[in-house]
Structure 1
Amino acid sequence: MDPSHAHLLGPAEIRELASRIHVTPTKKLGQNFVHDPNTVRMILAAAELRPEDHVVEVGPGLGSLTLGLLETVQQVTAVEIDPRLAELLPDTVAKRAPGLQERLSLIHKDALTIRAEDIQAPTALVANLPYNVSVPVLLHMLKLFPSIRRVLVMVQSEVADRLAAEPGSKIYGVPSVKAGFYGEVRRAGSIGKNVFWPAPKIESGLVRIDCFDQPDAPWPRDAQLRSTLFSLVDAAFAQRRKTLRSALKGHFGSAALAEEALRSAGIDPAARGETLATADYVRLAQEVSDEQ
């Protein structure tokens, strides 16, 4: 076997590995295992990774994508919550990519409990995210690791649409704005049901985020601005049909104060939250921060 290459997993291998450790995929953990090597190659191509990248993979499962990542980049940190899968992964890598074992680090943990000190300066997040927690995990990783420059994640198709939605559309909302705080977000492909075991009932989509490079970003990605921005976004979309003047009155203390802040930021108080781009919310958040 070529030490610089990995033998990717097919349907038979996926079932054999799952059977070996008595794993039945669970909906609770959002487990649907990719068994199609071409899909793995498609994900890697869409991610456009560099050899020197340090990739975080959340939910490696049986290792389908992990093997492809290991032959593409110098370092992969896999975060797996299921103890059986976490125990099996190093063995799978040893057998199917024996020359690449040193590139893998494994963390047996819930991704939502990962702390900044757990992973050293990752530059990319590439994962088939568990669908039931995909957006919280995505935002948690982006918050913790400003070193991430590229995101390529597989999520439920409608979640992919929401993340990449444009202002003014019916599906534009909180995930769209919050993801847009970190970089340029776009759909990067669609994935059918039949490349998974078990086949999910829903289609999947790829989302790519090209994170803003500091110091050339359109706004700083500091904690204070993010916190102010995210609370404004949550308030604006909590009452989606209301004008911003009305929806944000609780946040500012009164409708009059909300209107004053909106006008100072160059935003029409009669507009609705779904019409504002991330840059508009950033401007409002900066206005709020300047007054504090």
Structure 2
Amino acid sequence: MNVKTLERDIKQFLEDADVLVEAPLADYTYTKVGGKADVLVFPRSYTEIEQVVAYTKENGVPLTILGNASNVIIQDGGLRGVVMILTKLDEVKVEGNRITAQSGAAIIDVSRIALDASLTGLEFACGIPGSIGGALYMNAGAYGGEVKDVLEQIVVITDTGERKVMTSEELELSYRTSILQNNNYIAVEATFILENGDQTAIKAKMDELTYLRESKQPLEYPSCGSVFQRPPGHFAGKLIMDAGLQLTRIGGVEVSGKHAGFMVNVANGTASDYINLIKHVQETVQEKFGVSLHREVRIIGDAPEQ
């Protein structure tokens, strides 16, 4: 199916302003890399998502879902078919000690809403730069807390375009994984159960974690966040530092001198630069220490044509 036909068909479900053709994905990713999407859409309702899912399935069109695109590298060849970014679905509601957030909401914003409501449990998320949907997809965590600690249930849209409620237990959340990585469901809403707390103490904890993050992470450059999972018995950043890899650069991407677990785009780098640097770091750490580093960041899309 050609792009013009795809654009015409998708505009049956979404407003013209919410459908872009041949859009550069580098404009929407934290890494500032990524080729073009054939058709990029920004749904504003669950019904629109359901319609697009049903259409792509019926017509055999590839469909990729993105939130804030903070822990993903999109290759320079871009993404075929339809790319759906959920950031316009960002409503958050507080009811008692529960917070319900749509998947396009930034988890940082949700943690701040919890603070305003004097609810404790989401302090760990005050510096995670992803969306609620992305946080569910990979059971995001930081500073000793993770999504599974406070999640009650989510609403998903299945691969056939149907809406379904899933409990936290059904998501099979563990270290940086969830069942969403395997079943092609789209998380559209999450409900968290928190505890009543002292607002001053909650703010003090968030301020402490924000200071730690800003002092230790290279936030001044585009990056994909923490690149590697924590290897059993080790810390990825320390292994990379001990291997002498800090400030190693390929193209415009380098291993951060501030935190070796991060790779930053310092000079108009490309996805290929990221991928080649990741491979180099993995090979060097394996050779020096016999430890395998497994990516936390996702790599998706097409490689550039040679």
> TM-score scaled by structure 2?
0.28
If asked which structure has higher relative contact order (CA below 8 Å, sep 6+), I would say 2
Larger radius of gyration between Structure 1 and Structure 2 = 1
Structure with greater helix percent: 1
Structure with greater strand percent: 2
